[in-house]
Amino acid sequence: MKFRNEDELKSYVAKRLKKKEINDKVWQKLKEEGYVEEVLLDYEDSLLYLLKRYKQEEKFYNEAFKDGAETAVNVYSARKLFPPPKNTEGQSAITEEDIALSKVIAYKLSQLPLVKQFRRQELKNRLLSLDEMEEWIKETAKRDGQPTLYAKKPIERIEFIGNEIKPVLKQEDKYIVEGPILLAFPSKTGWVEHIPINVNGVLGRLKKIAERITKVYCPIWSEAQAVGFILTGKPPIIPKLQYSLSLTSSEGLCWVTLKFDARITPQKLAKEYTKIRKKILGNHHIVPLTQKHLKLAEFVSENKEGLTWRKLMRKWNEAFPQWAYTNYRLFCRDANAAIDRILDSKIDYNSLFR
């Protein structure tokens, strides 16, 4: 089917998918990935791929962003610094060993001269409560004055004068403004928030101390956790195992990054990963593909470019006569199904964003 312009294609997609209007954010993503252009250029099967990709993207968008998850990531809970959170069975999700480790680390860091001096000079040795912290940060930002903005300008060349290096700036170019400089902190809602700060003010000093803690003394902490500790004295709980997820919305791929204490036993690590995997996939069991369908997905991925499904089927039959096809539509269906099964991880988005 030939389309005269993007608007005509967009209207057709809405009609084909029985929607009053197309999600602009999803559509923009399809444009960036080249699906819209391929249809307008009338590539083979491009319309089918666009319709399929639109449904995938819209499903991800509706699941992931329905509760406002696009605006923030809940990576730190100010209300649950201490005591540790409870799981559904009412038992502590953090072990006594984790709590002890967190307290010991906090005790050691509280002895640092830079921490003690800040608390003495800026807090008058009175630690803030979790409820007071957010208000103190916002009021201090006002007193510190205009937030810091940095600007940079391109260098035309470098001159060597004696032992000195002198950069020569491009006079015709404008400065590129960067910033503002932000301070991360745990808000009363439990979400990490960021506030623009003056680097020469009290919050600028607080940020430098937090950065030194996270870079030198306790890399496992985030800046927000370090800020919360400096102001309240409450130590963030450090579990033996932490994980983060990287989602590919279009294909449903999910990569898990684990950080864990080297002292954790292999048995404990396996047990904890089992919990993480269940959270991601729910109760879905991934059934391995047969050798035929694995080969089919691999073959199509390597050979489809520039070939029609009929020609590709003939090439497949020559390479794998034991799995030969006579109907190219059936061949196309099986190939796409095999590819989808490899990529389809059945991610439980409702669970991830709770």
Domain-wise residue ranges, the chain = 1-71, 78-232, 240-354
* pLDDT category of residue 275 using cuts at 50, 70 and 90: confident
Could you tell me which residue, 230 or 263, shows the higher pLDDT?
A: 230
* pLDDT category of residue 157 using cuts at 50, 70 and 90: confident
C-alpha distances (whole Å) from 140 to each of 202, 210, 295 are: 7, 16, 63
Q: What is the pLDDT of residues 60-87, one digit of tens each?
A: 666 555 443 333 333 333 334 444 444 4
Could you tell me which residue, 168 or 129, shows the higher pLDDT?
A: 129
d(CA 182, CA 24): 30
Q: What is the pLDDT of residues 167-182, one digit of tens each?
A: 777 776 677 767 688 9
Positive or negative CA dihedral for 31, 34, 36, 41?
Answer: positive
Question: Can you give the pLDDT at residue 61?
Answer: 66
**Cα torsion through 281, 285, 291, 295, rounded to 10:** -20
Is the Cβ–Cβ distance between 279 and 244 less than 8 Å? no
Question: Can you give the pLDDT at residue 351?
Answer: 57
What is 51-84 written as a DSSP string? Answer: HHHHHHHHHHHHHHHTTSTTS------GGGSSSP
Question: Which residue is listed with tokens 């991610």?
Answer: 347
Cis peptide, bond prior to residue 235, ω within 30 of zero = no
CB count within 10 Å of CB 161 equals 7
d(CA 82, CA 236): 8
